Amino acid sequence: MLVDIRVQEETFSLDAEIARLAATGFDVGGIGAFIGLVRGDAGLAALALEHYPGMTESMIARIVAQAGTRFDLLACTVIHRVGRLPVGAPIVLVLCAAAHRGAALEATGFVIDWLKTQAPFWKREDYPDGQARWVAARESDEAAAARWDAGDPSEA
């Protein structure tokens, strides 16, 4: 499996990333994609994202490795942005390439669900009046990850 994991401030190009996966030479039949955006809740101006360098990359690598085995992936790209991102900006990209659509789509859900609960990123909401608030974790995210019964990547 071809794995590409990046944590960066710059944005990303969906076209360019899909083209890279399509050109791998593997027999890719489908690519599942998830793109997370900054949602403009309640007058939000921007999100500031920080992470734990080193641990972030290793946790994402573990999640991707597990998805690769479970869904027989050919390639997987995860790009997660950090820094200050305005409302509407893309935050995260997950692309999972497989021979068939079922595996590609399921793997994409698996990776983003586990990323949300296992990768050490934190979001701060910045408002136009200068107020800032750290986002609290949601139980629904834990539940979303837990539905992938077999595998907590942190226990792999």
Partner 1 sequence: MVEILYFAWLRDRLGRSRETFVLPRDGGLSVRDIMDGLRRRGAAYEEIFAEGGGPIRCAVNQEFAALDSPVRAGDELAFFPPVTGG
d(CA 60, CA 11): 19
Does position 6 bind partner 1 by CB under 8 A? no
Tokens of 29: 């039949």
Nearest approach, Cβ of 58 to partner 1 (angstroms)?
6
**CB 53: neighbour CB atoms within 10 A?**
10
The count of residues interacting with partner 1 (CB under 8 A) is 28
Nearest approach, Cβ of 43 to partner 1 (angstroms)?
19
Nearest approach, Cβ of 41 to partner 1 (angstroms)?
13
Q: Which residue type sits at 139?
A: E
Which residues, 50 to 109, sit near partner 1 by CB under 8 A? 50-52, 54-55, 58, 80, 91-92
Does position 49 bind partner 1 by CB under 8 A? yes
d(CA 151, CA 81): 25
